[in-house]
Amino acid sequence: MRFTVAIDGPAAAGKGTISKGIAERFGFSHLDTGLLYRAVGRRTLDGTPAAEAAKALKAEELEQGDLRTAEIAQAASKVAVIPEVRSALVDFQRAFAFRAGGAVLDGRDIGTVICPKAEVKLFVTASAKVRAERRFLELKAKGADVTRDQVLTDVKERDARDAQRSTAPMKPAKDASMLDTSSLSIEEALAQAVAIVERKLPTDW
Ligand code: C5P
Task: Evaluate whether residue 203 is within a structural domain.
Answer: no
Q: Per residue of the chain (205 residues), what is the pLDDT tens digit?
A: 899 999 999 999 999 999 999 999 999 999 999 999 999 999 999 999 999 999 999 999 999 999 999 899 999 999 999 999 999 999 999 999 999 999 999 999 999 999 999 999 999 999 999 999 999 999 999 999 999 999 999 999 999 999 999 999 999 999 999 999 999 999 999 999 999 999 999 999 8
What DSSP assignment string belongs to 35-104? HHHHHHHHHHHTT--HHHHHHT--GGGGGSS---SHHHHHHHHHHTT-HHHHHHTHHHHHHHHTSTT-EE
Q: How many domains does the chain have?
A: 1
Task: Evaluate whether residue 62 is within a structural domain.
Answer: yes
User: How many angstroms does the Cα of residue 204 sit away from the middle of ligand 1?
Assistant: 34
What integer pLDDT is reported at residue 35 of this predicted model?
A: 98
Report the distance separating Cα 81 and Cα 131, nearest Å.
Answer: 22
Residues with CB under 6 A from ligand 1: 11, 33-34, 37-38, 73, 76-77, 80, 107-110, 158, 162
Task: Evaluate whether residue 91 is within a structural domain.
Answer: yes
Task: Evaluate whether residue 16 is within a structural domain.
Answer: yes
Residue range(s) defining the domain that contains residue 185: 4-194
What's the CATH number where 188 sits?
Answer: 3.40.50.300
What integer pLDDT is reported at residue 11 of this predicted model?
A: 92
Task: Evaluate whether residue 23 is within a structural domain.
Answer: yes
Q: Specify the pTM.
A: 0.96
What integer pLDDT is reported at residue 143 of this predicted model?
A: 93
Task: Evaluate whether residue 20 is within a structural domain.
Answer: yes
Task: Evaluate whether residue 201 is within a structural domain.
Answer: no
Closest CA to 169 of 123, 135, 117: 123
Task: Evaluate whether residue 24 is within a structural domain.
Answer: yes
